[in-house]
Amino acid sequence: MPRTIIDTFSVTRLDILDPEGVADETLLPPLSREEILRLYELLILSRAFDTRALNLQREGRIGTYPSILGQEAAQVGSAFALEKSDWIFPSFRETGMHVAMGYPLSLLFRYWAGDERGLVCPDGLNILPVCVSVGTHLPHAVGAAMAARYRGDPVAMVAYFGDGATSKGDFHEAFNMAGVFRLPVIFICQNNQWAISVPRSRQTAAATIAQKAVAYGFEGIQVDGNDVFAVYSATRQALERARDGGGPTFIECFTYRLSHHTTADDAGRYRSSDEVAEWKKRDPLERLRRFLEKRGDWDEEYQRELDRKIRETIDQAVREAESAAPPERSDIFLSVFERCTLRQTSQLEVKADADA
């Protein structure tokens, strides 16, 4: 006789800081006053970079750019929990992560201006190049986690992606392998409700995206992605689990893309202004500012000085990016594979003869 196997499950939702800046003190992570202020400053810096990048694109000084407006807490909060030794596999909308990890801003501007040398990661950071093709980097993160396991290297792999990636086969293959082998990898989905013009409701019929982890045998948690404390806490716990041999974790950051998908998109064609206005009330920067103000750690003078310093930092990064020598034409060959193929080598030789 056929049997029905029923296995109930639940998905935890973590909220710590509400839109009015009121925190559940019992859930606040163990961060010092200085660390919380640093979190706020990184959020402001991330938004300032984003704003300048959008302006530069409109001026024709950089190419197509994907804004992170509204998603800063999901990126900064998670990155703030990482160690420099951890390995990060980003998609194309993780500027806040780069900022929080200390990636040179001038290199980011160079990359978005079309200079691939901007993704040559500096020593001391383990951030792989941006992955524009949706979801294809997730199996890479899992493979790296397996390599770390073989080597006995106590690091974690962290893969960032959007809700659209959960509809790709790469997502399911990566999750399956990570679950089977209990690998030290953390999957962070920025569920910003839209995969270009496709709403989240057309991505999956599941009540949450986080619950997809259950089918693969590991924990999934949904957090308020506009709550920097919730994102930090969930990431920190996931890192501890990964380093202690507890296997992978899937974190769904429930957030919203306030801007267009990229500067080549017009979001007004597929979503309402009322929806955007409602999400603006949940601004991650404003809620942390209100939290700091309630504690006496924020005032107008502090904000003016912070804005001045950040403006100078951004200005300097733009100057450095735009004063860099242009890349060599041969660079297009040299960073594709570890070693040039025979075909690439022959093309380089032809180019050298032509230049001579």
Catalytic residues: 257, 261, 270
Longest dimension (CA), the chain: 80
Give, in degrees to the nearest 5, the angle at Cα 258 between 271 and 137. Answer: 100
